[in-house]
Structures are given as structure tokens and as C-alpha cells.
Amino acid sequence: MTAAAREIRDGDVVFVGMRLPLLAFCVAKRLHAPRAVGLFEAGIVRDTPSPALLYTMCDPPNIQNAAACLSTAHVMSLLQRGDVDVGFVGGAEVDRYGNLNTSYVGSWREPSVRLPGSGGAADIACLSKRLVIMMPHERRRLRTRVDFVTSPGFGEGAGWRQRVGLPGGGPSALITTLGLFRFDRDSGEAILCSYHAGTSLAEIEQATEWPLRVARDLAPTPEPSRHELEIIREYDPTGFWTGTRSQV
């Protein structure tokens, strides 16, 4: 979660998303990005951190002292205008080009699993200047090729977004429960840049279906600072989002 908070820069307009990004935005606002502005798909705009833990983006603490409470269409239009610097998304499957599946597992004609679909995720993936993907790290999720592209990353590789006319910058980071990936701008492929405490390169390779590309300067992910942990414990004292039962 702290790795996600560090992806937010001071002054960013952030399309926050659900689950851990709700907490990551508060941590970033309190520590290193005080001028960041949060957009929530329900139509809420915040220039201050939420005063309490959010379970959904529509919770009363998110409305309290919000900068604006608008329509979903109004907030989504800010993506179309190119105003969103970074957006957070997740999914059931992701491939090495950052394409996400939240629609079907198996054939779309006769799927083995039906998933909830896009919501606003496709818009966020297509139109944000930077896209941050958050996923549990399991071999069944980090696929060589996703079964269905709900939210596009770099499509089939280098130059694909430009060929199909997507204006956003595409994925900049894939944060999993095991490590942090960045995306090579020449090939569009994910490259493992750091591994989280308690894991190893061998474990990440085993849990990833595609052939792993590893950065030359691969290193452990920087651990949470004392201040980051204090804020997380303040917002989430019972471990609802950060406890052992919670995943990215």
C-alpha cells in the first residue's frame, strides 16, 4: 500500500479507485503530496484527506468537507479532458503488457467465470497520463495473455496505444503483493524492479505465468517508514484493509 502512495506526486490529480488506493491517497496527502487532488468515481472531489477510514468511495467521511460532490459523468469528463495525472485500477487478470481483465475467464461466449466488468476502469486505463495497477500476485492472475481485455495497457506491445489512438500514457507501475513492476517504453513489457520483504525472485518467477524480465538494479522494495506506518495505523486500526486477510 505504501508503494502505491509513493506513486502519487505532489500536485497530481488522482483518480483514486477502490480498496487500498482509498488509503494510499490519504497517506500521500498527509506526507509528501499535500497538493494532490483526489477524484472518486461517485462524483466526489477531495483536496483534503478523508477524516476517517473509507470502506467505499461513497462513505459519509468522504463527503464530509469534500471540495465538490458532482455527478459521475462530470468526474469522468475530467479524464476525457486529459486532466488526470494518475489513475489506480485492479482486476482479475493482468498480462505482461498491462492489459487487465475484469470481464470473463475463459471464452466470452461460454465463460467459466463472469466478472463484474469495467465500471470506469477502461476510461481510467485509456485516458490517465499514468496508470498504476494493483493486484494480488498469483500465477492464475499474472497471465501471459489475459482472456479478455477489459482495460487496455500497452495492448500487443510497443506503439500499440498510438496506433489505436489512445491518448493516455498507459501503465507506469504494476504493484502486486510480491513486488513492483515498471513498464519498458520500448517494448511495453513489465519489468520486475523490486521485491517486497519476505519474498524472493524465485517465488515471484513461480507466481508469474509470463517469462519474467528483471531490472539490472533489482532490489528490495523500500519498507514503510515510521510516519507511513503511523498514518496507516491511525486510519486502519483494525486492519480492515491492511490486515492479514486483506489483499491488494
Residues classed as catalytic:
41
Residue 16 identity: V
| Under 8 Å between Cβ of 163 and 188 | no
Interatomic CA distance for residues 120 and 95, integer angstroms: 20
| Under 8 Å between Cβ of 183 and 154 | yes
Interatomic CA distance for residues 182 and 177, integer angstroms: 15
Residue of 8, 210, 200, 212 lying closest to 93 (CA atoms)? 210
Who contacts 111 (Cβ-Cβ below 8 Å, separation ≥6)? 104, 105, 147
